[in-house]
A and B are shown apart, each in its own frame.
Chain A
């Protein structure tokens, strides 16, 4: 059984301009010990999905209008705030994008780790302190015992993200949600943080949701990949499948826009950009949301009937009227190459 199962999750923002359908019918599952990569461009609903799982969406204006988030047999959307607070940090932990602002500048690093430890585990002050030192050592911060009494401003960005990782892992959560954990960091530091995440994931046998817009990061780290576009999942499958045989035109375009990736199914031309812009989520296209930007739109019924997510191969789901493998024949007839 999957550790986390998200079913038809819909999170909408009720604003003055209208209802923003930020997450609109997303389903996925994460197995114990596996990593799911969620990719998509800015505003595709990746972060809102993660925050919905955590129960951290800003209410109001946002609300989970339907769907379920079943973690370890319990539907988190049905829990009270108090019950959720006991799950957060203990069972599911989260790392945020910007380590420079994710630590409270008025508390020492030690206080912030100890705080989390004592919140969920029954530890004395001394025990918590000892554990905090161990955690800092675990994320490779040298001279951990002494650095514990430093304030965050004495830490660099990379070290702060290490501290965030230490805090997230402090109570041995079963699921770690990393929301663009390396976006705000230098490339060299990014690699370090990713290495650290893999290493600790193995050690702690956690499941992980890795949210990013960096296809390279996903290719390296994820077992499964879910591609989001305009609040919906457009493609889902194992990392191998998605990268070697992408089906959805959007995924193809994303991989085509990526430098240095050269594989059979990716057009071996220059770096290509996707024309157009993501749709307005207050008033999205009625049928396929990618239709306005899709080079194959109009070939099928997809501009009038919204395509459903369907299983095109074993474990490979796609939401498109003309996935790559079905297109080969039809495209030639229509004169599109």
Chain B
């Protein structure tokens, strides 16, 4: 008994000494979230990811603040100033109707990013539900769900989106979100299923069941929170895909209708005059590339930050 005490107090004394140095003034709130703090530290050590995160925030700042700073009317037609190259009054120039492209790019970006976030959210919700049910229940249900997914998997997502939009007949935020998410949740579901299946084998899941935890507790308390890292990474992997999808649909004229603008439809406007007025297509194209690249680099950095094991194998 005395040895027990001594062992335990020795262990804790060691721990105490190790932690006291670092955490002494950090306070209780930080101590609690050290799992995420470690991840944040690894993320900030990754230069490409930090630059990407700043770039991403700059873009978000631009689409949010742009229309507030510049109060020109994005729909005001004035042929007198059509096709003006960038000036101080119109930093991104004007289009064939003399509309200010700075405000239109920012507003178009709002719509593009909103649709992107909406569709990503839908993809995550469907994918997580489908995948976690499949992985958690297992057995024949898993089999049926996965074979169904295999069938859908071969179908390309853009034709799916086009058909969906054709069926809806109208194009607005909601129909775009549905069209873009309807055929892009398969990968998320599969990865989710894999995660749940591998987590299910963990000792702490068995330990939870050994103290009588019911299935919903096991799923929502022990399994899903442990997939959070993967979910966050997937958000940043899916986002560029749907933003690009939206841009593509709008570019070929199936997406956002004029006079509303998205980056895709702005690029399409510029496409008709790219030889004489290249800035009209260059600006939205750069915006799309900017957002997609920064999101990908963020996803990459997050994956390394939240799953240190993959990082170790990469570095050596």
Contacts and interface: CB of A to CB of B under 8 A. Distances in A.
A103 B204 contact: yes
Interface in B209-229: 209-214, 217, 221-222, 225-226, 228
A322 B203 CA distance: 41
B15 A156 contact: yes
Contacts of A85: 209, 212-214
Interface in B190-243: 202-204, 206-214, 217, 221-222, 225-226, 228
B212 A88 contact: yes
Contacts of A287: none
A272 interface: no
A56 interface: yes
Interface in A78-131: 82, 85-90, 93-94, 96, 98, 101-108, 115-116, 119-120
Contacts of B252: none
A147 B226 CA distance: 22
Interface string A177-197: 000000000001101100110
A104 B226 contact: yes
Contacts of B25: none
Contacts of A156: 11, 14-15
B11 A158 contact: yes
Contact of B211 (A93, A107, A150): A93
Interface centre among B4, B9, B15, B19 (most CB of A within 10 A): B4
A164 interface: yes
A189 B225 CA distance: 31
A14 interface: no
B139 interface: yes
Interface residues of A, number: 54
A106 B208 contact: no
A159 B212 contact: no
Given A105-B226, A141-B8, A141-B12, A120 B210 contact: no
Given A143-B12, A149-B28, A89 B211 contact: yes
A262 interface: no
Interface in B1-41: 1, 3-5, 7-9, 11-12, 14-15, 19, 28, 31-32, 34-35
A105 B35 contact: yes
Interface string A145-168: 001011101111011001010011
Contacts of A155: 15
A159 B206 contact: no
A116 B32 CA distance: 21
A115 B213 contact: yes
B1 A195 contact: yes
Contact of B3 (A94, A104, A159, A192): A192
Most buried by B among A85, A106, A116, A188: A106
B202 A120 contact: no
Contacts of B15: 154-156
Given A104-B222, A192-B8, A196-B4, A88 B204 contact: no
A107 to B, nearest CB: 7
Interface residues of B, number: 36
B1 A199 contact: yes
A154 B19 CA distance: 9
B219 to A, nearest CB: 13
Contact of A158 (B7, B208, B225): B7
B7 A101 contact: no
Contact of B209 (A87, A88, A142): A88
B202 A101 contact: yes
Contacts of B14: 156
A119 B213 contact: yes
A14 to B, nearest CB: 13
Contact of A101 (B9, B12, B204, B214): B204
A116 B226 CA distance: 19
A103 B28 contact: no
A199 to B, nearest CB: 6
A119 B212 contact: yes
Contacts of B228: 106
B211 A167 contact: yes
B204 A102 contact: yes
B139 to A, nearest CB: 7
Nearest to A198: B1
B5 A140 contact: yes
A60 interface: yes
B307 to A, nearest CB: 13
Contacts of A139: 8
Contact of B7 (A107, A147, A167, A189): A189
A192 B210 contact: no
Nearest to A162: B8
Contact of B4 (A103, A115, A195): A195
B210 A93 contact: yes
Nearest to B224: A106
Given A101-B202, A115-B211, A155-B15, 9 more contacts: A85-B213, A93-B211, A102-B204, A119-B212, A151-B32, A151-B35, A154-B15, A158-B11, A167-B211
14 contacts: A56-B210, A87-B212, A102-B203, A102-B207, A108-B32, A119-B217, A120-B212, A140-B4, A141-B12, A151-B32, A154-B15, A154-B19, A167-B211, A192-B4
